[in-house]
Amino acid sequence: MKGFDTTVRSRDVQSNLLTVKRGLTPNKKEALSAAFAILRPVFVVFAMAGCFVIPGNLLVSHAYGQASSSSDAVGRVTDSSGATVPRAIVHLTNNATGAERTATTNDNGDWSIPNLPPANYRLRIEKEGFKTSTIPSLNVEIGKTANGSVTLSVGERTETVEVSTLPPQLQTTEATVGQVIDQKQITDLPLNGRNVLQLATLAPGVSPAQGGQTGTPGQFGTRSLYITVDGGRGSSTNYVLDGTYVRSVRFNVMSLQPNTDTLQEFNLLRSTYSTEYGQGQAVVSMVTKSGTNQIHGTGYEFARNAIFDARNYFARTYSIINGQQVFNPKPDFRRHQFGGTLGFPIIKDRLFMFGGYEGQRSSKGTVLTALFPTQNELNGIWDATSSQALPGPSGPGGFGYSKTNPAGFAVTSQAALALNPTYPVLTSDATTVLGTSNYILTKPFQDNYDQYTIRGDWTMSPKSMLFGRYINFDSLQASPQVSGAVQNNPLLGRNAVLGHTYLFSSRLVNEARIGWNEFYNIGLGQLAFPGKNWASAEGLNNISAVTSPSQNGRAAFTIQNFTSAADFGGNSAGDQGDHENVISVGDSVSYVFSKHTLKGGFQFQNRRLWQIADNNARGAATFDNCTSATYAAGYKPTSPDDPNNVTSVGNCPIGQKGYQLNGTYYFYNKFQNYARGMCTSACNGNAGNSLGHYRDNTYGAFINDIWQVGHGLTVNAGMRWEYNSPWIEQNGLEGTLDPGTGLITFTKIPSVIPAAYRKYIDFSRTYQPGIVQPKKLGFMPRIGLAYEAHPGTVIRAGYGIYLDNLNTNELQFTRYAAPLYFQQSFTNVFTNGLFPDPTTNTQIPSPFSIRPDNSRPITQEWNMSLQQDLGKGLVLEIAYTGSNTHHSWKRYDQNMFIQYPFQIPTTYVRPYSQFGNGVLTSSTFGSASFNGGSVKLEKRAQNGFYYLASYQWSKNLDNFSGEAAANDSSYATTMAFDRSYSNFDTRNRAVISGGYELPFGKGKAFLQGPVSTAILGGWSFQPAVQLRTGYPFNISGSGCTFASYNGCRVFLAPGRTLASSFKSRSDRSISNWFDPTAFSQDPSVATFTGAQGAYASTARPQPNLQGWVTRNVGRGPGTASFDLSAIKSIKIRERFTTQFRAEAYNIINHGIFSNPSGALGTPSAVGKITSTSMDNRSIQLAVKVLF
């Protein structure tokens, strides 16, 4: 099979089995040997089964979007002598709804009930000649297999024995590595912002979105609403709610944030999970609550206010202004999260409803600062008392800059005439009051949403059960601008599922689902100053803002070192975002026979994506000082515009560089260039629109077997197959650079192509729709072993192959090919009348590109673990997990100047000289590896006390850490040189969470009187502590001739090593984290030893090459956060309880810092830490009613 080596896989499995076999009894050795002998043909059978259609009505859930949210229960029935009891009757009853399932033990005394809704059940087992045995509370957790093994006592069937001791929390039938968070933990643990993804960080192997915490919904695909698991990227985790995915297909992050009070359970699947799950290395699976036979619900409000919060570490309490100490008030912050839930029966034991609502109103004061020119400077008039200092004389002629304008100088730029009246009139001097800013404005950032959930469950008959659930999440973030305008970023998430379970018999169960997920997130360009056609007023032509009213807005005109006009007028880029609709249908069948529980199904999904990514839709220009041209050696120019012996032009064209005043020549300065409209750089404007209408279909099939071999051994084996059709732009608007011919090739050749462009376009052929070639051999075998060596000890191992998520954000690359979308860029031009008709250009813009030979990312995962029951509800788990990923998405500049690591180029050569600059390309050249060991202690809740504690050591390497970020390879010629520590590599991480109810008050062990109950009773405390070592960071340079989109690599300075470049723990500080002098951008003064090769000291190569220090060599500060919730519960009546809550985040008020700056090109910041990744102490108060 393509994509993995079967010989290696078999050898790995055999090695694991041999490890498990050590120390076994002869009978168990024989059982294990027999299991291994059968594994090879089982794989063949599963592979063949994946190629055929199972008869019946089996259109299945999930190729991309559906997965079962159900669970299983198994057990073994024995008598007091240990002999198995066949043909016993098993009854499993949902304690909340009264729904019952039955089974009969087989000849080995084993029973299995598949496809159970996660809930708390009552287990009753009957057999003639034995007393009836019951377990009143058996918890069946989402996606897991509950163990209900029971020993029967001899006696009358009418007699009942209640088993008070639950079976150990051991996974005796599966090799899945994961973590379940139950309802009490979900609702009681401190969650900042009530963000459910913070629950995943309680488990080993998880890293939140960089920045410290998983984010809240925001612009451009909620990029921060994700986690990374065991070295996988943020896009490598699936998010499943009630069996249907809640995931954006653009960035593969969670598309909405569920209300925590509507969730029953939260399950993180890390490794070796069932073949019914696909598309990623890990799965977050959640289940919503349902109605029950009792009316139940909650009502709550959670509130935060700045008066309870500590200042940010870097926020000064006082400032010195004009020699006076001035108090700085904390920015205002108010957040209210309020809502409630209600569940109730419509028909007892048959029909139930559940619903919930949550709203948020959040306002956070934002201090906006800017550096604006004075009104005189905007008009090119210099004022010696307020204008900033100009540089000294420039170039070989020694010409400088005058603070006096030439006679008759006037503002001639249409853009300046239009924009100048909108600049604020300054009332303070930048140099004496606000430092680098001369304008300040405080406006609130608002983050509001409304969300409602509704669910119905209907037991139509003892054999037929139906449920449906709908969630609507409507969010709006309003970001203030310096102008006082507000930029709105709407986000809409909707998700619905309809599921039906039918019991043909106690052994044959069918489960069908239809799911729908909609996601809308488009950041619209703002009209900070409405009522004007800005493009026309600024004298701009042939850009998107001219033809599209929604793109109308101020151009991004920037006077060098000052705030851009666009920065106080809204989003200069234009409209960006996407609208997604995903419909999935499916069905699966479970069948229990003999020692096997077999589950299989097929899957289909239809996806639609509307994506827009307009850049420079309103135009952009930068105005800087004119600079001297470069002249032949020894030549001294006679004026700034001397045209003789010029080797390079510099800022401003010859003839427009300067003027003569009182007999002296001067260069035009940046203010004069702005006033006359001379754009010196970044004169960019795009025409057309980048809107793409994409669609694809996905298909999947799976089969999975849980085989209880006997003698404590259970084998999980399965095969999954997936096929994704290429994402097709339905109007044929797709093109990319063919790396073989160097020509732009389309799926449908445009009907109108400018004459000058024709030589760059391949007319001899077209790509198939979607460009990327489809891959149909998507087979993914998985196998797991669970061996109960003796009661209380389980050894588990597993291996699996997973096809990773696709990132459709890369589809924009196929829409940027001219003439589908015109991107224009100029230097040293006047802005009046800019931009020309793009169809008349003689130079085609450099295209973006996506490689047609891209493959789907593929990951091999393996694990081995030991679980030990320590008694009293305490379980120890020691686990090892590893993975290896290939064909991950990776960007690189396909037209970078050719340079190899440890070599000095003698010429500057681009592979495609017809394009003047880079060709950013999306490929699948990425790779990664992960290895980690963890120790976990978990105590089940008893007497109000529970905890989950874990420690993990791991190492994560890759050559590209995330396709959502616009970074790429530093060496397009040598991708392997990018391999280093991943951005989210976390060497050491420890987490402790739990809860403790004080043993005082009525119904508790101590002080049961009314006074002590009122004061000390009802208190519980829930801590969450996280400790981790720091994330890696890059050391980078600037101004590199061979630069990529990622910037410049650097060299080590003479005599320095990486070890000596980074300070010891006792020597480093936030103002001096590492030694910047250890690095250089000049290879002529660099040190190269060992693997970096030899360097001839007599050679003096040209500076500004790509350096040879690899990425992510630095390591930032670690994190130590301590959160705590304190809850006082007061029982008003038997079924009514009021809770008063106080939650503190970072309660020790410890500065949790971001990584230092590694930018050598910014000397004032390099090596310094200037921000925090988490807030200092903050407090949230709440009141909650439960009934």
Over residues 105-151, the pLDDT tens digits come to 998 888 999 888 888 899 999 988 888 999 988 888 887 888 888 88
What is the structure's pLDDT at 1023? 97
**CA geometry: angle at 77 spanning 76 and 78, to 5°?**
120
| Averaged pLDDT for residues 412-438 | 72
Tell the residue number behind the tokens 């405080």, with chain if given. 442
Q: Which of 351-360, 549-558, 930-939 is predicted with the least confidence, judged by mean pLDDT?
A: 549-558
| Averaged pLDDT for residues 787-798 | 93
Listing DSSP states for 231-299 in one string gives T--GGGEEEEETTEE-B-TTT-SBSS---GGGEEEEEEEEES--TT--SSSEEEEEEE----SS-EEEE
What is the total residue count of the chain? 1187
Report d(CA 867, CA 966) in Å as an integer: 42
Q: Which two tokens stand for residue 182?
A: 């139950």
List the domain boundaries for the chain: 71-162, 177-293, 442-617+690-1031+1120-1180
Facing residues of 694 across strands? 609, 729
For the chain, what is the mean pLDDT? 83
Residue 614 clears pLDDT 90, i.e. is over it: no
Q: Which of 201-215, 585-599, 817-831 is predicted with the least confidence, judged by mean pLDDT?
A: 201-215
What is the structure's pLDDT at 698? 92
Tell me the three state secondary structure of residue 1058: helix
Q: pLDDT digits over 252-300, tens only?
A: 889 998 999 999 999 999 988 889 888 778 999 999 999 999 999 999 9
Strand (E) or helix (H) holding 35: helix 26-49
Report d(CA 238, CA 169) in Å as an integer: 26
Q: pLDDT digits over 148-199, tens only?
A: 888 888 888 888 888 766 667 788 888 899 999 999 999 999 999 899 999 9
What is the structure's pLDDT at 52? 31
Q: pLDDT digits over 5-56, tens only?
A: 322 232 332 233 223 222 333 343 433 343 333 333 333 333 333 333 333 3
Q: pLDDT digits over 192-232, tens only?
A: 989 999 999 999 999 876 544 444 433 333 446 788 899 88
The phi and psi torsions of 963 (rounded to 5 degrees) equal -75, -15
Report d(CA 1039, CA 1047) in Å as an integer: 8
- Give Cα separations from 477 to 572, 747, 959, 1057 (angstroms): 18, 38, 34, 47
Residue 433 binned pLDDT confidence (cut-offs 50, 70, 90): very low
Q: Provide the 10 A C-beta neighbour count for residue 531.
A: 5
Higher pLDDT, 395 or 747: 747
Tell the residue number behind the tokens 């943020």, with chain if given. 234
Q: Which two tokens stand for residue 637?
A: 């120019």
Residue 682 binned pLDDT confidence (cut-offs 50, 70, 90): confident
What is the structure's pLDDT at 219? 37
424 upstream amide cis, omega within 30 of 0:
no
Report d(CA 890, CA 804) in Å as an integer: 14
Amino acid of residue 722: E
Tell the burial category of 626 from Cβ atoms under 10 Å away from its Cβ (0-12, 13-18, 19+): buried
Q: Provide the 10 A C-beta neighbour count for residue 282.
A: 28
Report d(CA 176, CA 71) in Å as an integer: 13
Q: Greatest CA span in the chain, whole angstroms?
A: 121
Q: Quickly name the fold that domain 177-293 has.
A: Ferric Hydroxamate Uptake Protein; Chain A, domain 1 (2.170.130)
Residue 321 binned pLDDT confidence (cut-offs 50, 70, 90): low
Residue 619 clears pLDDT 80, i.e. is over it: yes
What is the structure's pLDDT at 820? 87
| Averaged pLDDT for residues 459-467 | 93
Tell the burial category of 278 from Cβ atoms under 10 Å away from its Cβ (0-12, 13-18, 19+): buried
Residue 1091 binned pLDDT confidence (cut-offs 50, 70, 90): very low
Higher pLDDT, 570 or 584: 584
What is the structure's pLDDT at 47? 36
Higher pLDDT, 934 or 1046: 934
What is the structure's pLDDT at 626? 94
Tell the burial category of 693 from Cβ atoms under 10 Å away from its Cβ (0-12, 13-18, 19+): middle
Report d(CA 259, CA 760) in Å as an integer: 53
CB-based contacts of 133: which residues, under 8 Å, 6+ apart? 124, 125, 150, 151, 152, 153, 160, 161, 162, 163
Tell the burial category of 1187 from Cβ atoms under 10 Å away from its Cβ (0-12, 13-18, 19+): middle
Facing residues of 783 across strands? 717, 799
Q: Which of 4-8, 38-42, 309-313, 719-723 is predicted with the least confidence, judged by mean pLDDT?
A: 4-8
Tell me the three state secondary structure of residue 51: coil
Report d(CA 302, CA 195) in Å as an integer: 13
Facing residues of 660 across strands? 665
Whether 840 and 541 have beta carbons less than 8 Å apart is answered as no
CATH architecture assignment, domain 71-162: Sandwich (2.60)
Q: pLDDT digits over 910-922, tens only?
A: 888 888 667 888 8
Task: Name the pTM for this structure.
Answer: 0.85
CB-based contacts of 107: which residues, under 8 Å, 6+ apart? 84, 86
Instruction: Using a pLDDT cut of 90, give the percent of the chain over it.
Output: 43
Whether 1033 and 1157 have beta carbons less than 8 Å apart is answered as no
Whether 73 and 116 have beta carbons less than 8 Å apart is answered as yes
Facing residues of 178 across strands? 269
What is the structure's pLDDT at 15? 31
Whether 883 and 861 have beta carbons less than 8 Å apart is answered as yes
Q: CATH assignment of 442-617+690-1031+1120-1180? A: 2.40.170.20
Q: pLDDT digits over 983-1037, tens only?
A: 889 999 999 999 999 999 988 889 888 888 889 999 999 999 999 999 999 888 8
Highest mean pLDDT among 68-72, 366-370, 666-670, 1088-1092: 666-670
Whether 363 and 304 have beta carbons less than 8 Å apart is answered as no
**Packing angle, helices 6-21 and 26-49, rounded to 10:** 160
835 upstream amide cis, omega within 30 of 0:
yes
Whether 927 and 886 have beta carbons less than 8 Å apart is answered as yes
| Averaged pLDDT for residues 1129-1155 | 92
Q: Which of 39-53, 392-406, 782-796 is predicted with the least confidence, judged by mean pLDDT?
A: 39-53
End-to-end CA distance of the chain: 56
Report d(CA 696, CA 586) in Å as an integer: 17
Tell the residue number behind the tokens 């793009």, with chain if given. 838
Dihedral, 553, 555, 556, 561 alpha carbons, nearest 10: -120
| Nearest CA among 821, 740, 728, 806 for reference residue 771 | 728
What is the structure's pLDDT at 567? 66
What is the structure's pLDDT at 35? 36
What is the structure's pLDDT at 59? 29
| Nearest CA among 550, 678, 677, 692 for reference residue 610 | 692
Higher pLDDT, 1180 or 233: 1180
Q: Which two tokens stand for residue 857?
A: 């990312």
Residue 358 clears pLDDT 60, i.e. is over it: yes
